[in-house]
Structure 1
Amino acid sequence: MTRTKFNPGLDQQPTIHRDPEPARGADHAAAPPLSVSRTRLSTSDPDELAPALARLCPGVTLRPLKGTAFRCELGIATVGPVSFVTTDWTLGGRMDAATLHDRYVLGLAGEGSRDTEVEVRRQRLSMAHGKRAILLVPEWPVKIQIPAGGSGRSLTVLRSALEAHFAMLTGHAPPEAILFEPDLDLTGGGGATLQGIARLLREELERPALSPFVRSQFCDVLLTALVTIPRHAGSHLLELAPPRVAPAVVRRAEEYIAMHAGEAVTLADVVAAAGAPARSLQAAFRAARGVTPMGFLKIRRLELARQMLLAALPETTVADVAGAMGFRSAGRFSVDYRKHFRESPSETLSRRRPTGRRRGGAR
């Protein structure tokens, strides 16, 4: 199996320190592709809705607003550690939780929704569509008063996954639960970026034929955005210059990518195989290869796609190959392919090598 070498002079770089922990090596298996599970429920009975909410945030209690009936439509799409939650409260409601247990929550108001009142640790906040969101931490008590006609477009993340992602990036466990400031401004800066990433992943999950490669990549991006954009007690660790690592770390990462490029590889997989924190690995990879590890993975997938095109059966299309190698769209794949190989994938496909098969299976 061939692979591109960008800088043959890598071995001449100085070694600054030894690997921070033993690497798992290039035989570390990539995580299995993330599947999507969906739940939809429309009910006028709070007791019917409560179990679905409790699976997301154990300990949450739900009741109608005083003096009103109850009506809610709930949708949950879960991919790996992330769940996207849509709620439409025809007659409003109230949710209380003494603790969110094992979940971080990014609470967003839906389009057209009236402002939703939130009390977090006796601090009164509000969710307003496109303006204000809330970031909730597992230990915090929370009370949410939802007006009639209110709606939410929120997400939850498993605590273990978010804190493991922080450790993967920095090489350090978070000093405590990641204590975000609960009030998040969505009108610009990092808040607007975070909201855009959350919206994009939610929209992608609604596509029926979404590649498992893309699911994994988007979840990685979302977890990175949650850890790096809002301020919290561990932010200073993300601002320190990453320690430099030995050239062998980059080689291990490159070998792992070459072996597993046809799988749903994430940055966490590459980091585990290389045995260095993600930020250190990314800096070393840029210095040695001119790209990030995930950029190198993309190049390797383009190379594999080229091999597939040259050996394709007559009925194979460019879209088939793009999907098989995890590209979001054939159009984006074609742009990247032409940039790398100076020809379109269709031109490569037209030069396919004979495979010994003809249409109809004749030989």
Structure 2
Amino acid sequence: MSKLSQILFGSPQYDATQLQIDDPFVQRPESAPGTLLRIRPFKENQGVVDGAGLLQSVHDVTTNLRGKNTSDHHSFEVWFDEGKIKFYMHAATEAAADKFRRRVGNNYANSDVFPVEDSPAFPVINPEEYVAGAWLKMEKIPYYPIRHYNSQEFEADPYGEITSEMLSLDDSKVVTQIIFRPAKQSWTSGDRFKHNSVDDLAHALRQGTSVGWLNPRTRPASQKDKQAAKTIEQQRGQQAFHVNIRILAVSSDKEEAEARAHGVAGMFRKFYNGITEQGLDDTPVWHRTEDKRARKLQDHVTRMADREWIDCRMIMTVDELAGVAHIPNEDIETPNIDWRHTQRGDRIPADTGNYDRPTDDGPSTDYNPEDRGNNGL
């Protein structure tokens, strides 16, 4: 944003605002699109490695007769709600929900996976609470990969810091939502109207960089340019997903909502790839006037609760997305995670129709099952 724009319109910032609602916002399972699955993971798992296996198993691309990608979109979500860190997957259809339940069970052994039926399908937001939000995007075009566990290994699971930053007051809520939609195998071939192919980009990097204006010249490719070219070429042939990433924080304390939204978004900067200089950049949901800011935040909340897909031209390979969207293991030290602490002695086969539900999972105190009116927006 230019300095003139900043003076006239202000710079986007985390400015929590109350929604323009008179009743609590409640997304009920029966009125929500698709099926929301709650996951209570067993602490002993392989974290991001198991996450990559899960994503590979659900990479099902469908196309129409013209070859257009018509695949459904789904989501992986982490909530801080009712004082706990909880994990969810949202499936667009019942068939996808059944597949996810089986695949999660296969990749994360001893975990509980069950549909959300008796509690809200999104954290409840009360009229007096303040809301702050953001969405994330890649800083460069898709072929420049972000950091992932097979490129520049993390010293520790980034979800340790992400979930720690999500911890808040017991009556606050924080949601990290990653919506994903499988990309066609030809995603690296480029689009003549938007960007070149991976081969074109890698070739250009090896040719050096044009510098200077009055006396232009070509700077020879550096070792870093050559490394980036090799990394970009390795994207070819890999399975990938189109991705949306949204963040929401809700609290009775205005500053707490702002701090949590800003802090969690900032943790995603850990995925910056120093070789390709690609990272995730956060944009707060904001407007300089309070009335329009409240309306923008209402739209943000509704999109998240409805698991709405928006094409923001962000693509991640399985390895990249697994780092951003996975169930962590006991290596992270975040307290208040809703783990399953015991192994199954009589494990129910993953393809049966029975579900195990935690005994302590009841409806939110803000949720009245008899209230069948609108959701407050």
TM-score class, shorter? under 0.3
- Normalised by the length of structure 1, the TM-score is 0.25
Q: Which has the larger radius of gyration?
A: 1
- Normalised by the length of structure 2, the TM-score is 0.25
